[in-house]
Amino acid sequence: MAASLCALLIVAATSEIVLDGALGRSPLIPKSPSIAGWLSGIGERLGYRVFLIALLVSCAAYAGLIAVVRARERGRVSARFVIGLVVVLHVIVFAGPILLSTDVFSYIAYARLGVVHGINPYTHGPVAIASDPVFQYVGHTWRQVESAYGPLYTLISYPLALLGVTGALWAMKVEALLASAGTLLLVWRCAAARGFDPVLAVLLIGTNPLYVIYGLGGAHNDLLMMLAMMGAVYLMVARPATSRREGAAAALIVGGALAKATAAALLPFMIVSRRRLAPIVGALLALAAGLLAGFLAFGIHGVDLVSALNRDAAFVSSDSFATEIAHLFGKPGVFPIDHDLLKGALVLIVVHLLWRTWRGYDWVAASGWSLLAISVTSTWLLAWYILWPLPLAVVCRDRRLLVATLAVQSMFVIHQITPLLAPVS
Amino acid sequence: MSSASSSAESAEGRWERLPPWLRPRGVELPGKGELRWIETTVLVLVGILLAVATINDVARQTGVNHRLVADIRTWRLYTGHNFHNVGVDQHLLGPATKREVVCGNDVPGAPKEEIQVCLVVDGPIRDGRRKVTAGWYLRAHSEDDVRSKRYGCFGPDGAAFCP
């Protein structure tokens, strides 16, 4: 009964955001081709107040649902119930507009730069195709910026450019949906292989409000990266363990990193944990193939991921913990020295985790901690960044990681509520 | 392809030369849990820091929003124009000063398309508005931080803001 009520609240809150968002003309809904117009007659324009109330309701119901499932009703909450809830949430968000981010239009713009206009997306930003129909949808901050995504992701998105802007947008939504479905399937299998409750593991990710509303709602390519990550984890935890599987797992991580560089965080922990040649060989072969493909397609700029990462590391967002701590100590914001201090802290954390992994600590947990540390120490924090450690947290042997990840997500949500306390308009 | 477990045994043998505390392990040894206790303590302390920083930032931003509302209301009451597009710059005079610059057109029109009236507002919020300490006019299509485009400065501190 309690589980059903929580599920109903999550579905209702998500539906409210999607139906109101379908009307467009909201600061929370990016300007977009009309892909959800058929839903627009039901809701009202999405304002901060309604969005934040729906988000908070969804978060409270998510916490309640987990508590109920863990505490007493596990026997009464069937796998069918959880899968059904996850499917319903995915369908609702898939049918709706793009939520809360213009990133997907940057993905499409980079693809159209290369395919339609013959311009290298690693040397030119979307501003180079200002007359292209996608340009009006690209976020102002990103119009001058060259692609920071890996060459593999750009090559995957290239064929989608041929579908036109609306077609490519739907294709990106399908890609995000399939990546999410694949990630959840792999999470189920990893949890089962490691002796955890797969139903709870899938529930923790598939109904997570940040995952559903921000990650899936924005059709972010982080979902594709998480799919590669979980594919690698599954290959490593599945029995029997073979060198081929370990090599393939390392290759998958490199593939994920060639889509979005953050995935590379898993590789050192996997290698240190196994201490065998197969993952190193797999990683090197995949890296060589990926870099060669990237170089042939985009030249040297396409494989120069370090400069892209350095450029992005200099960005500062008001939601980052670094900015919040700066404000706490009376500073107006993050200074250059803070970037160095944060990088130093991150290095210390990773070294400690590598040492712990060398001495037998669960490499999946160590990878998850490192991803959480990357997002917490980053000066550019977005909601979908704090999704990275979640699938690892639900299948690792250190429960503290799950608690820490959910705590960080909670703090992110709390940081959003100012417009609710002091509306400006 | 060979089984990974058989190759693992021979591979693990190469670490025998290392002192025991440096050797790799397949699984952690059950110990007193001191390291785990230290890690958990550090995590809790970091968590408290992040939580305090988050709450502080929400309170700070709430104060900023209250000031923003009061600034816009002050501009509308001072100029007598109930315009929708009024811009507030909270950084121009230093974010810590809480002195803000509020600009809006002096006649109806698109933002910054007409001559703008800018006010420097300061002090606490009383009756939903703040004190105007200075002001100036700004030529159309100008940013409010371009000093050379200002003219007709007024108010007690007005002289300090014109070229």
Per-residue pLDDT of A94-119, as tens digits, reads 999 999 999 999 999 999 999 999 99
Q: Using one digit for the tens of pLDDT, what is the confidence trace for A399-425?
A: 999 999 999 999 999 999 988 988 876
Q: Say if the Cβ atoms of A278 and B3 lie within 8 Å.
A: no
| The residue count for chain B | 163
**Whether the predicted pLDDT of A312 surpasses 80:** no
pLDDT at B28: 80
Q: What was the ipTM of the complex prediction?
A: 0.90
pLDDT surpasses 80 at A82: yes
Contact assessment for residue A218 and residue A99, using Cβ atoms and an 8 Å cutoff = yes
SS (H, E, C) A114-143: HHCCCCCCCCCCHHHHCCCCCHHHCCHHHC
Edge-to-edge order in the sheet of strand B100-105: B87-89, B100-105, B116-126, B129-138, B150-154
Rounded to whole angstroms, the Cα distance separating B118 from B104 reads 7
- Min Cα distance B84 → chain A (Å) is 10
Find the range with the poorest average confidence among A168-177, A311-320, B71-80: A311-320
User: Are the C-beta atoms of residues A166 and A35 closer than 8 Å to each other?
Assistant: yes
Question: What is the domain extent for residue B14?
Answer: 1-163
Which residue out of B50, B62, B65, B91 would a mutagenesis test of the A interface target, given it has the greatest number of A Cβ atoms within 10 Å? B50
> What b/e string do you get for A371-387 counting C-beta neighbours within 10 Å, with b at 16 or more?
bbbbbbbbbbbbbbbbb
Contacts of B57 in chain A (CB under 8 A): 323-324, 327-328, 415
How far is residue A172's CA from residue A31's CA, in Å, rounded to a whole number? 16
Helix (H, G, I), strand (E, B) or coil at B16: coil
> Which residues of chain A are at the B interface, by a Cβ-Cβ cutoff of 8 Å?
240-246, 272, 274-276, 278, 321, 323-325, 327-328, 330, 332, 356, 358-361, 376, 400, 404, 407-408, 411, 414-415, 417-419, 421-424
Distance CA A375, CA A310 (A): 15
Mean pLDDT of B89-118: 83
Residue of A nearest to B96 (CA): A332
pLDDT tens digit sequence for A26-52: 888 999 888 887 777 777 888 899 999
Q: Tens digits of per-residue pLDDT, A123-166?
A: 999 999 999 999 999 998 889 989 989 999 999 999 999 999 99
Enumerate the domain spans of chain A: 2-103+165-421
Q: What percent of chain A has pLDDT over 90?
A: 74
Give me the pLDDT at residue A308, please: 76
The closest CB to that of B40, out of A356, A400, A415, belongs to: A400
B120 vs B161: CA distance, rounded Å: 10
Count of pairs with CB atoms under 8 A, one residue in A, one in B: 101
Interface contact flag, B57 A324, Cβ < 8 Å:
yes
The count of domains in chain B is 1
Distance from CA of A330 to the nearest CA of B (A): 8
Compute CA distances A64 → A52, A198, A204, A386, B22, whole Å.
18, 18, 11, 21, 44
User: What pLDDT, on the 0 to 100 scale, is given for residue B11?
Assistant: 57
- Rounded Cα gap, residues A228 and A256, in angstroms: 5
Q: Are A204 and A191 in contact (CB under 8 A)?
A: no
- Helix A277-298 with A243-257: angle, nearest 10 deg: 30
**B→A interface, C-beta within 8 Å:** 1-5, 7-8, 11-12, 15, 24-29, 35, 39-40, 43, 47, 49-58, 60-63, 65-66, 68-69, 95-96
Q: What is the pLDDT of residues B36-73, one digit of tens each?
A: 899 999 999 999 999 999 999 999 999 888 888 899 99
Q: What is the mean pLDDT of residues B142-156?
A: 78
Closest by Cα among A13, A4, A176 to A80: A4
Sort residue B128 into left (φ over 0), alpha (ψ -120 to 50) or beta: left
Residues A14 and A89 sit within 8 Å (Cβ to Cβ)? yes
d(CA A210, CA A191): 21
**Of A126-130, A330-334, B13-17, which gets the smallest average pLDDT?**
B13-17
Amino acid at site A121:
P
Average pLDDT over every residue of A284-305: 90
